[in-house]
Amino acid sequence: MARCYLISDFDVIVIGGGPSGSATALGCASAGMSVMVVEKGDELRDKPCGGVLPWVASDTVEGIIGKEIPSSVMADPNELGLYYVPPSGRRNGGRVAGYKIHNIDRILFDKWLRDEAGSVGAEFRYNTKFVEFEGTDPIKVKVEQDGEARTITSRFLVGADGVRSDVRAQLLPGQPAPVLLVAQELWEASGDFEDCFYGFFSSRVSSSYAYLIPKGQQLLVGLGVQPKQDPDLTSAMSTFKEWLAAEFALRTSEMVKREVWAIPYGFFHPGLGNVLLVGDAAGLCNPLSGEGIRLGIESGDAASTAISSEAESSSLIGAYVKDVGGIAEFVGSVYDFVQNLDDQGREKFVSDELNRRSQF
Ligand SMILES: Cc1cc2nc3c(=O)[nH]c(=O)nc-3n(C[C@H](O)[C@H](O)[C@H](O)COP(=O)(O)OP(=O)(O)OC[C@H]3O[C@@H](n4cnc5c(N)ncnc54)[C@H](O)[C@@H]3O)c2cc1C
């Protein structure tokens, strides 16, 4: 028997206008649902990000969005190769054959995604912060804009509000959601670097990954550490830059920007009842590379499919998990792999990747 719903302002309220929120909004609005996206930042919000998107990921993104990623959202150089460096250093590292990566400008990329969702009818409310929700049918969502509180109602709520999700915190109080802290610094700098995304693997700098990405005339260096890890972010970053100076002649002059944020690290929470979690809020980010844009878009798309096809049934979470479970399993298996890696394992990982790819 069809359920009877009370009248609500929107079919779906999405908290967060990053990639996962926009993909959710785009999918739901395309299926004819009314959608409001609540975003605490403004239209040009700057998310700490390396802005790299593997070529294969762009196929996924373009398949879901239905359009090619426009050249106007690319950074310079817009195409990068992939270069891995193991603990023993540059002599045993190298460029991975046949691997291409998009170098994107995250501010412009996210705006493009929001514009695409807007073009099919999703409504965006900027500078508006999610505060709390209550009830189930409809869900009453309390938001705050310019210090003023307002309540909006919807049949479904989607937490796309990132790694430190407020929706998740309220929905699943006390559930662990561990993170890897990631620091990145943008430098006016020079060095012996090709147009590549460089992935560095060594316990001296990170239990997970460190990276360098060319951005125009500047270089972005970053790495992840677990909270309370020794060495901490600051000393790990110093060691990393010393390594880059010794082996790649890195010379820094002026720091343009320093950011510290986090990625999910070892959890998956899909949601509860008619509240779904997507992207970082759900824990979907690659723990070995920090790649999360694609997984955010894929999970947002899966959430929209579950919402539009399961709206009349009680099996929303089941339908969502069925669709997104493969991504969650992949993230879980990479997490287990990273947890068990020592430097010998990192050496083998890089050597295997270089050999495997060169067979293509
Ligand atoms: C330093 C760093 C570098 C990274 N580099 C890469 C990379 O190169 N490539 C890659 O693929 N991934 C990268 N990632 C991961 C990637 O950025 C995330 O996985 C991705 O942004 C997740 O998208 P999302 O939409 O789930 O969350 P987010 O992009 O974090 O978006 C969440 C949105 O929710 C909003 N929000 C939060 N709380 C509220 C609230 N209470 N009310 C209203 N709005 C709210 C935020 O303002 C934000 O716009 C990196 C991560 C870090 C930390």
Ligand 1 and 279: CB distance under 6 A: yes
Residue 67 within any structural domain of the chain: no
Q: Distance (Å, rounded) from C-alpha 200 to C-alpha 202? A: 7
How many Cα atoms sit within 13 Å of 104 on the Cβ side?
28
| Same domain (yes/no): 200, 321 | no
Query: Considering only CA atoms, which residue is closest to atom 33 of ligand 1?
Result: 16
Tokens representing 234 are 């600051």
Q: Distance (Å, rounded) from C-alpha 237 to C-alpha 50? A: 16
* pLDDT for the residue 360: 45
Bridge partners of residue 300, in order along the sequence: none
| Same domain (yes/no): 129, 165 | yes
* pLDDT for the residue 271: 96
Contact 350, 83 (CB under 8 A): no
| Same domain (yes/no): 33, 116 | yes
| Region of residue 124 (phi > 0: left; psi between -120 and 50: alpha; otherwise: beta) | beta
Residues of the chain with pLDDT under 70: 1-7, 311-314, 357-360
| Same domain (yes/no): 251, 187 | yes
- The per-residue pLDDT for range 227-244, each reduced to its tens digit, is 988 789 999 999 999 999
| Same domain (yes/no): 293, 254 | no
The residue among 242, 263, 284 that closes a domain is 263
Contact 57, 293 (CB under 8 A): yes
| Same domain (yes/no): 92, 146 | no
Residue to mutate (ligand 1; options 166, 180, 263, 276; most atoms within 8 A of CB): 263
Can you give the CATH number for the domain in which 128 is found?
3.50.50.60
Residue 272 within any structural domain of the chain: yes
| Ligand 1 centroid, distance to 105 Cα (angstroms) | 14
| Same domain (yes/no): 209, 244 | yes
Contact 155, 313 (CB under 8 A): no
| Same domain (yes/no): 159, 212 | no
| Same domain (yes/no): 191, 259 | yes
Positive or negative torsion for Cα 25, 27, 29, 33: negative
Ligand 1 and 283: CB distance under 6 A: no
* Alpha helices for 31-136 (secondary structure H): 55-65, 106-119
Residue 18 within any structural domain of the chain: yes
Query: Considering only CA atoms, which residue is closest to atom 17 of ligand 1?
Result: 49
| Same domain (yes/no): 184, 95 | yes
Positive or negative torsion for Cα 239, 254, 163, 295: negative
| Same domain (yes/no): 335, 195 | no
| Ligand 1 centroid, distance to 296 Cα (angstroms) | 9
Residue 280 within any structural domain of the chain: yes
Q: Distance (Å, rounded) from C-alpha 294 to C-alpha 285? A: 9
The residue among 240, 263, 286 that closes a domain is 263
Ligand 1 and 161: CB distance under 6 A: yes
Residue to mutate (ligand 1; options 293, 297, 298; most atoms within 8 A of CB): 293
The residue among 202, 237, 263 that closes a domain is 263
Instruction: Give the chain's domain count.
Output: 2
The residue range of the domain holding 136 is: 10-48+107-175+266-339
Ligand 1 and 264: CB distance under 6 A: no
* pLDDT for the residue 311: 59
Query: Considering only CA atoms, which residue is closest to atom 13 of ligand 1?
Result: 291
Ligand 1 and 17: CB distance under 6 A: yes
* pLDDT for the residue 8: 77
- C-alpha closest to that of 35 among 4, 10, 71: 10
| Same domain (yes/no): 274, 158 | yes
Can you give the CATH number for the domain in which 242 is found?
3.30.9.10
